[in-house]
Amino acid sequence: MITAFLLARQGALEGPAIFPSYSNWFKMSFGGGSGYHATSKKSLVFLLKFLSDLVPFEPPQYLKVHILQPPYVPVKHRSLLMEYVSLAKTRLADLKESVEDMGLYEDVSGAGGASLQPQCQAIQDVEKAVSLFESTGRISATVMEASIFRRPYFLARFLPALLTPRMLPVKADTRMSFIEALKKADKIPAAQYSSYVESCQKQRQQDGGAVCLDTNDEPLEVLKIQLQEFTELLVEGNDGEMSAQLSRISHTLSVIFPGCNDEPVGRTVIELHTNTPLSPELHVKVVSMILRNFCQCVLDASRANPPNK
């Protein structure tokens, strides 16, 4: 057993191309119900005694893995696992380490991952999660599990680090796409998302009205799609989603019509028209697009809820 743990930890230091992370190895080896320890009380007692004997000497990052990814234990022997967890948590308390501050992609190399400040750890987790999303096109299982089983960290650390205000591009980049994916998975509250987009608009205004706009972006097309999506949300009657979508539309309008930096966020198109000396053709297109969408919204909403209601 000692040899197995030493080899697993050494292998984990070599990186995922060579060996799974220690957290994944421990979960694969002991987290299922088909292992020897799950079917034999003698094996289970041996495993937990082995882990308990290591507690006084374990670096905190390994103790955190054992607590957050505990071995599978049959219900009738749950008390044995609780004894180990209690012992490990006591040791972490003595070391002034918090389980909740452990990152989603914990570095168990001992080269500084465990000593990172919680906010710095959250920023690293966000960068890793966005990178994995870019390469796979899916939200990593680690993030999804954290949103359920580690909600305090996910809500208080991960989401604030992810939703840091910045100048948003009109055409979604990887980070925006990742945020949108989390939003669609109901992992980001609509009100928090709406507040994030509005903060991004204010950030752009504070930076002198600069716009993060790629030359290949077509903001009018983006606006058209956003208005169509808003019509669909209106029919569904999801107020939170509608509010978030209005924030997206407001941001796109602020890019099309930069206007005056001191103007409040969410100005109407008419105000933008009178304050911004841009081409009349552009204004006509945008105003027509919004009026057409407004009429469509009224028609669609009337079918579901007659006007007299």
Nearest of 84, 127, 81 to residue 104 by alpha carbon: 127
Question: Any idea how long the chain is?
Answer: 309
> Is the model's pLDDT at 4 over the cut of 90?
yes
Report residue 64 as tokens.
Answer: 């955190």
Instruction: Tell me the average pLDDT of the chain.
Output: 80
Q: What per-residue confidence (pLDDT) applies to 90?
A: 92
Tokens 């945008």, located at residue: 286
Q: Decide if pLDDT at 110 tops 70.
A: no
Closest alpha carbon to 296 in 241, 237, 227: 227
Q: Which residue reads 């007659």 in tokens?
A: 306
Residue type present at position 60: P
Higher-confidence residue of 105 and 263: namely 105
Domain identity same for 177 and 255: yes
174 and 71 within one domain: no
Q: Is residue 182 packed enough to be buried (19+ CB in 10 Å), middle (13-18) or exposed (0-12)?
A: buried
Q: Are residues 292 and 177 in the same domain?
A: yes
Q: Is residue 149 part of a domain?
A: no
Q: Are residues 66 and 182 in the same domain?
A: no
Across the range 158-172, mean pLDDT stands at: 83
Please say which residue of 41, 69, 94 terminates a domain: 94
Structure pTM? Answer: 0.54
Q: Are residues 80 and 179 in the same domain?
A: no
Instruction: Note the pLDDT of residue 119.
Output: 67
Residues 296 and 219 in one domain: yes
Confidence of residue 269 (pLDDT cuts 50, 70, 90): very low
Residue 156, domain member (yes or no): no
Per the listing, tokens 């079917």 go with 39
Domain encompassing residue 275: 163-304
The answer as to whether 45 is a domain residue is yes
Cα-Cα end-to-end distance for the chain: 71
**Secondary element (H or E) of residue 32:** none
Domain-located, residue 54? yes
Residue 270 confidence (pLDDT) above 80 = no
**Which range among 181-185, 280-284, 298-302 has the greatest average pLDDT?**
181-185
The last residue of one of the domains, among 62, 94, 126, is 94
Q: Are residues 184 and 275 in the same domain?
A: yes
pLDDT band at residue 7, thresholds of 50, 70 and 90? very high
Instruction: Summarize the confidence of residues 140-166 as an average pLDDT.
Output: 86
What pLDDT does 204 receive? 66
Domain-terminating residue out of 73, 94, 115:
94
Residue 101 lies in a domain: no
**247 in a structural domain:** yes
Assess if residue 100 is contained within a domain: no
CA 288 to chain centre: 36
174-193: average pLDDT: 89
In the chain, the number of structural domains is 2
Average pLDDT over residues 67-75: 86
For residue 106, being part of any structural domain is answered with: no
190-201: string of b/e by CB count within 10 Å (b at 16+)? beebbbbbbbbb
Whether the pLDDT of residue 49 is over 90: the answer is yes
At residue 3 the predicted structure's pLDDT band, cuts being 50, 70 and 90, is: very high
- Rounded to an integer, the average pLDDT of 79-101 is 86
How far are the Cα atoms of 12, 71, 119, 237 from residue 23, in angstroms, in the given order?
9, 11, 21, 42
